[in-house]
Structure 1
Amino acid sequence: MEERTFKIDENQEHQRLDKAVALFLDVSRKRVKDLLDDNHIFVNGKSAKASYTTVLNDRITIEIPEDENTEVLPENIPLDIVYEDSDLIVINKPKGMVVHPAPGHYSGTLVNALLYHCKDLSGINGVNRPGIVHRIDKDTSGLLVVCKNDKAHKAISEQLANKTCHRQYVCIVHHPFSHEYGTIHAPIGRSEKDRKKMEVTSKNSKDAITHFTVLKNFREYAYVQCQLETGRTHQIRVHMQYIGHPIAGDPTYGYRKTLETNGQLLHANKLEFIHPTSNEKMTFEIGLGKEFEQVLKELEEME
């Protein structure tokens, strides 16, 4: 059984418990009601009702039973392994691959491939997300680290929380910049109009910081490097849209008239963390995919 915990902040207080939990888990209120009815949600260690009004610093604990009807099976899917040892494995995820099983994607995921390749993966995040410490979107390519045991998982999770695990991305965005670098410090939360989207908002949001450097300006686009200080869902995609430079090819946050691509041109090209056993600083860098390289080449030729 997976356990998720969060603390109520100033943006979440004075809210119904079922709404706060639904936003945190990104599930329906009906799903939260089922968890409450089965006594799987606790406020400060005690059972509570859906109508409970949250108070600042309330500690919400959610027990999430495994979906007994869904078995995640190993699949012989090729993996681009950048590094591997007895504690962890660093993967270059291809564009178009979903990281872990979810409704509509129960096969062909990175987890299905990992289960075939690895004998053991950490179990902290349950059977649907074994070993997964952080995710990248389906149509985002690049580096992510997967943990083979709980010790490594906890260590990398702490580094992510403490901002000592560094993740760098590159992307192609609409419109050239008039400055070389900047920092976007804007909170991100679930959109109230469309639950599948995130947005910069002060309601039910979490602090989000993205640093960016302009690598090259083109006539109508820019090639940009982004450094995550926090790791919110769709963070770079939302932040770049927020400052008027949506990522090219992004079907959710971008323009309808854009470059012809299979999803957003966003690539996790660099990953740094401290190894959980050796305490050695590990740095990995990976080149661009063929589609990304081709688009850059075409933009160069158009100049």
Structure 2
Amino acid sequence: MQLIKVQSNDTGQSLFKFIKKRYSDTPLSVIYKWFRTGKIKVNGKKIRDQKFLINLGDEIMVFDTNRTLVRDNFKEADFSDLEIVYEDNNILIVDKPHNLEIHSPINIALDDQVKSYLVSKGEYAPEEENSFVVSHVHRIDKLTRGLVIYAKNRQALESLSEAINDKNKIKKTYWANLERKVNNNLEAVGWIKYDSDLQKAIFQEDEDEGYKKVQTSFYPFATENGNWVEIILQTGRKHQIRATLEYFDNPVVNDFRYGYQNRTGQKSIMLFAIEISFHNLNSPLEYLNDQKFDIKGKIKELHKF
């Protein structure tokens, strides 16, 4: 028998959802059987209703000693270089550097740095959590620098996960320095597919089997150094910006995978997730509405424009 006490990040969710997270390595068929055969008790009572809602302080007993609990076994990491743009009790926004993965099963990643930071502050104790894991809400490419949002509790994670793909709630803006000057605004609508053999995305203007529709807005702005554009993603697909720019024969500077030819010796592509703004969010994050966070000043200073 294994005893689990419900914590604040667990409360309000269904017992089935909680058990599925807590025993993520256990086949669903086994979990269903636990419910059918009364092997799960809450506060001493057998619960067969998968929709049963758990509350803070509930004691859940699982009568299957052959199954192990899954905890967040992240890699402890040095977080001294972690650049925090904004932080409160619910969220953390960080500036991810170029050439760092957000998540990796092998290498130290941004996830590991963020979790190590929160552990050091006493705000995250993985060994005490039953079903919640501090998590990034969205991703940017390894080679891209810029803003990434993390949720520090379950309520924030659920709210942001629902909002992240709604452009009326969370708006993400990018800057890129391109190979050639762009004179006019461009609204690029087309279709994209990620080719795992080529390890790159393919953009085309015609619909085709296996392709998903994408839309990207490009707005050039004047600078004394480079061919810079502001980019708004109307959809969010892997390598969407980079593949679209390759199709229009104007790749991001240093993006050799997507068509840039001028070997500069630099590994960092000139693509930046520059700004995040929040709108129309519900509780518990409504206080973020109409706020925006950016690293525009840093990028202007770094690239001298």
Alpha-carbon distance in structure 2 between the residues aligned to 1:244 and 1:213: 16
1:225 alignment partner in structure 2: 230
Alpha-carbon distance in structure 1 between the residues aligned to 2:265 and 2:224: 17
1:124–1:131 CA contact under 8 A, matched in 2:
no
TM-aligned CA deviation for residue 293 of structure 1: 5.0
Identity %: 24
1:73 alignment partner in structure 2: 75
1:135 alignment partner in structure 2: 139
Match of 1:203 among 197, 205, 209: 209
TM-aligned CA deviation for residue 187 of structure 1: 1.8
Alpha-carbon distance in structure 1 between the residues aligned to 2:263 and 2:131: 37
TM-aligned CA deviation for residue 278 of structure 1: 4.1
Alpha-carbon distance in structure 1 between the residues aligned to 2:148 and 2:111: 12
2:18 alignment partner in structure 1: none
Match of 2:104 among 101, 104, 108: 101
CA-to-partner distance for each residue in 1:33-70, whole Å, 9 max, x for gaps? xxxxx9779xxxxxxxxxxxxxxxxxxxxxxxx9x8x9
1:248–1:258 CA contact under 8 A, matched in 2:
no
Alpha-carbon distance in structure 2 between the residues aligned to 1:126 and 1:190: 31
Alpha-carbon distance in structure 2 between the residues aligned to 1:246 and 1:296: 21
Match of 2:286 among 267, 270, 279: 279
2:188 alignment partner in structure 1: 184
CA-to-partner distance for each residue in 1:145-179, whole Å, 9 max, x for gaps? 11112221221122222222100010111111242
Alpha-carbon distance in structure 2 between the residues aligned to 1:192 and 1:99: 19
Alignment of 1:1-80 (within 5 A): 71-78=73-80, 79-80=82-83
Q: Does 1:267 align with 2:272?
A: yes
Is the radius of gyration larger for structure 1 or structure 2? 2
CA-to-partner distance for each residue in 1:229-285, whole Å, 9 max, x for gaps? 111111111111111111010131132324442231011111012455141312101
1:88 alignment partner in structure 2: 91
Residues 252/102 of structure 1: CA separation in 2 closer, same or farther (3 Å cut) = farther
1:97–1:138 CA contact under 8 A, matched in 2:
yes
- Which residues of structure 1 form unaligned runs of 5+? 1-37, 42-65, 298-303
Give the alignment's TM-score, normalised by structure 1.
0.65
Give the alignment's TM-score, normalised by structure 2.
0.64
2:132–2:153 CA contact under 8 A, matched in 1:
no
- Which residues of structure 2 form unaligned runs of 5+? 1-25, 30-67
Residues 199/140 of structure 1: CA separation in 2 closer, same or farther (3 Å cut) = same
Q: Is the deviation greater in 139-148 or in 277-286?
A: 277-286
In the alignment, residue 82 of structure 1 is paired with which amino acid? V
- Structure 2 counterpart SS, 1:153: helix
Alignment RMSD: 3.3
Q: Is the deviation greater in 93-102 or in 245-254?
A: 93-102
2:90–2:153 CA contact under 8 A, matched in 1:
yes
TM-aligned CA deviation for residue 203 of structure 1: 3.2
2:222 alignment partner in structure 1: 216
Match of 2:175 among 170, 173, 176: 170
